[in-house]
Amino acid sequence: MRLQSQLMLAASLWLSCASLYAGEPVTAAKDIETLFHSSDPKLNANKQVVYYILKDMIQSGHWELAPKYMTERYIQHNPGVPTGRDNAVKFFIEVVKIKPVPIEPKLKMPIVSVIAEGDYVAVAVKREMADLKDPTTKYTTTFFDMWRFKDGKADEHWDAATPDSQVLEHPAS
């Protein structure tokens, strides 16, 4: 009986691993603008702040706008970025080296979904990455950002970054 259980476990692990390589490509929403709106006034306001963080700051490099959208204490859970609004600004300007460009009328990131609940807004973004086994081929996956809001500004942030991964930079950078 023990051997049968081990074989069943091995088979299920093999099937679950095999499915890792058979996933469907990630696709962005067709009309991302609508994802950043809600009929709830508080959720709508929070979604709009995230929209402008992504469009004006991440996409266009206008980090001088940070005080408008982020609290001063801005708690950061990305292992590559120290906590504090000023540290986040410094990271994107000095480390990632984002240069300001004219602010586009619309966000161009491949947004998959935007979910808001209470004081939180989470955004899933399509990300194309090189296959580690064959760098000449690419695959799509999902990067995420999540913010907690306080008094109408982003006060805390989480993302998928790890110290040893390719996700210390935002997909839009």
CA 32 to chain centre: 14
pLDDT of 167 reads 45
pLDDT of 3 reads 54
pLDDT of 1 reads 52
Q: Which helix (H) or strand (E) holds 75?
A: strand 70-76
Distance CA 75, CA 56 (A): 20
Distance CA 114, CA 118 (A): 13
Segments of the chain scoring below 70 in pLDDT: 1-22, 164-173
Token pair of 5 as six digits: 């259980």
Does domain 25-159 correspond to CATH entry 3.10.450.50? yes
Is the entire prediction scored with pTM above 0.95?
A: no
User: What SS3 class is residue 134?
Assistant: coil
Enumerate the domain spans of the chain.
25-159
pLDDT of 8 reads 54
Matching residue, tokens 């940070």: 66
pLDDT of 5 reads 53
- Is residue 91 within 8 A of residue 172, CB to CB? The reply is no
Please name every residue paired with 127 in a beta bridge, in sequence order, or none if there are none. 141
